[in-house]
Amino acid sequence: MLRQGFFRLAFAIALFVLLSLTLASAQSGSTTPKYNKATETKIKGVVDEVKIIPGANEGVHLMVKTDTETILVHVGPEKFLAAIEVSFAKGDQVEVTGSKVKDADGTDEILAREIVKGDNVIVLRDDKGVPVWIGWKM
């Protein structure tokens, strides 16, 4: 009876360790781009499309058309933007400051730190690139 209890405990511990390693591996293999102050850039353009992309690291994205390109801009969580009463629509004139990053396919994208729309300055990340919605309860 004691031996059977020992094996159950050993099996439970082994299962816990295996699950922990699997979760840690999945998190470290994340392809989510990170904000890099060294690649910070500023673009001006017109919102060509607003996309709502589901997922933990996704949300509102803008396709911004500049004089030379159309680039995907990561804005922030949809619920966060709604709570601070910010919205975007096709045709909006915007000035985006953010970190230019590459997606998994090598295409340029921008992680927005600040967006100017009309007279409004929307701050989405601090000076180090940390999202302002971190710790915010939705």
pLDDT in tens, the chain (138 residues): 555 555 564 444 543 444 444 444 444 444 668 899 999 999 999 999 999 988 777 899 999 999 999 999 999 999 999 999 999 999 999 999 999 999 888 899 999 999 999 999 999 999 999 999 987 765
Strands 120-123 and 40-53: unpaired
Contacts of 129 (CB under 8 A, 6+ apart): 34, 35, 36, 37, 99, 111, 113
Domain that holds residue 112: 37-123
Structurally, how many domains does the chain consist of? 2
Could you give the CA distance from residue 77 to residue 55 in angstroms, rounded to a whole number?
A: 9
Tell whether 5 and 62 lie within a shared domain: no
Inside any domain, residue 116:
yes
Inside any domain, residue 52:
yes
Angle formed at CA 91 by CA 43 and CA 95, multiple of 5 degrees: 20
Inside any domain, residue 129:
no
Tell whether 47 and 24 lie within a shared domain: no
Inside any domain, residue 117:
yes
Tell whether 64 and 100 lie within a shared domain: yes
